[in-house]
Amino acid sequence: MTGPGGRDGLPADPVGAPGMSAGTTTSEAIARRVAALFAPVPQVAAVALGGSRGGAGLGAVAGSDIDVEIYARGEIALDVRRSIVDAAGGARRAELGMRFWGPSDEWIDAATGAHVDVVYFDVAWMEDRIAAVLDRHEASLGYTTCFWHTVRGCRTLEDAEGWLAGLKTRCDVPYPEALRASIIGLNHPVLRSVLPSYASQIAKAAARDDLVSVNHRLAGLLASYFDVLFAVNRTTHPGEKRLVEAATRTCSRLPEGMAVDVDDLLRSSGADLPGLLARVDRLIDRLDALLRAEGFTESSLPSLRRP
């Protein structure tokens, strides 16, 4: 699971740092060191490398965080976590015990300056998140299949009891058609069809020249838009980062001009409010055309009717 925002300016991964074998990157060595230190902790069931470095994303770029996922039964004491940071080589700066976006620790590795991002997932909670989409076919407004994507795409570092291997096997299944219908059925109407739709809210915010509200509602619109798009393609949602690139790479069926339309929409959000509404309509019109091409009709998806 990717967190909010990205960090720039961190060094690229050199090869040949102390304690590394040839061909092993600094990030790989740090991740394995951290994983090995967490593995003996009684609450820990498994440790994985996630994000762009773990295989769940589009590939790391310079400055990408080292995303370490800790799957645990119960909370790990803060002093234990602090001792692991010290044993892993220490930190130039550390923010431990954060709960802003779920339990996490982050620090800047003392030797390399690499940004380490450790996120904690409760084992039972993650099992339920997987069951929610694969068994119960529950949709959310945006990002419905992100945790399925997280588990399926992460790279196992420690898994002594085989719990993570079992969950990954559980995730290695075809995209449920009932889930696809559920995601589209929930997320498509809020784009433009219902009275409090994102398009309607954007129009009202633009009329009162409320740029904060415009951008807030645009973020919601795009979250649901991409949830529909990945569901149409029976592809798990990769999270919030580099979504246009992810859709272009992983989706075989895209709305006409998707990348240009999204770019135009965002660039006009503050510079051309009168033209923004037309861009919103164009984006949704082209998604609707894709849905119709996929066999959806106004009978099966009433929100295809223009309000």
Question: What are the φ/ψ torsions at residue 59 (nearest 5 degrees)?
Answer: 105, 145
Whether 3 is in a domain gets the answer: no
Whether 279 is in a domain gets the answer: yes
pTM, to two decimals: 0.87
In the 8-state DSSP scheme, what is residue 15? B
Gyration radius (Cα) of the chain, Å: 21
Q: Report yes or no: 179 and 139 within 8 Å, Cβ to Cβ.
A: yes
Provide the number of structural domains found in the chain.
2
Whether 10 is in a domain gets the answer: no
The confidence score (pLDDT) of residue 57 equals 52
Which residues make Cβ contacts (< 8 Å) with residue 303, sequence separation at least 6?
Answer: 188, 189, 191, 192, 193, 194
Does 166 lie in the same domain as 30?
yes
Whether 120 is in a domain gets the answer: yes
Whether 278 is in a domain gets the answer: yes
Does 193 lie in the same domain as 153?
no
Does 199 lie in the same domain as 163?
no
Measured N-to-C along each axis, helices 146-153 and 123-134 cross at an angle, to the nearest 10 degrees, of: 120
Does 51 lie in the same domain as 131?
yes
The confidence score (pLDDT) of residue 64 equals 73
Separation of alpha carbons 110 and 170, rounded Å? 38
The confidence score (pLDDT) of residue 13 equals 36
Separation of alpha carbons 103 and 291, rounded Å? 38
Does 241 lie in the same domain as 122?
no
Which residues make Cβ contacts (< 8 Å) with residue 10, sequence separation at least 6?
Answer: 62, 63, 113, 114, 115
Separation of alpha carbons 135 and 133, rounded Å? 6
Its sign, for the CA torsion 80, 83, 89, 94, is positive
- Side chain identity at 284, as an amino acid letter? I
Q: Which of 171, 200, 216 is the last residue of a domain?
A: 171
Does 205 lie in the same domain as 164?
no
Q: Domain range holding 267?
A: 177-304
Whether 240 is in a domain gets the answer: yes
In the 8-state DSSP scheme, what is residue 47? E
Separation of alpha carbons 110 and 181, rounded Å? 48
Does 162 lie in the same domain as 30?
yes
- Side chain identity at 249, as an amino acid letter? R
Does 184 lie in the same domain as 137?
no
Q: Which of 171, 186, 211 is the last residue of a domain?
A: 171
Whether 9 is in a domain gets the answer: no
Separation of alpha carbons 240 and 78, rounded Å? 28
Name the region of 23 (left: φ>0; alpha: ψ -120 to 50; beta: rest). left
The confidence score (pLDDT) of residue 267 equals 87
Does 95 lie in the same domain as 31?
yes
Does 257 lie in the same domain as 147?
no
Q: Report yes or no: 234 and 251 within 8 Å, Cβ to Cβ.
A: no
The confidence score (pLDDT) of residue 53 equals 54
- The series of mean pLDDT values per 10 residues for the chain, 307 residues long, is 32 34 67 97 97 55 80 97 97 96 95 95 98 98 97 96 97 98 98 96 93 95 98 95 93 96 88 85 97 96 91
Does 237 lie in the same domain as 286?
yes
Whether 8 is in a domain gets the answer: no
CATH number at residue 164: 3.30.460.10
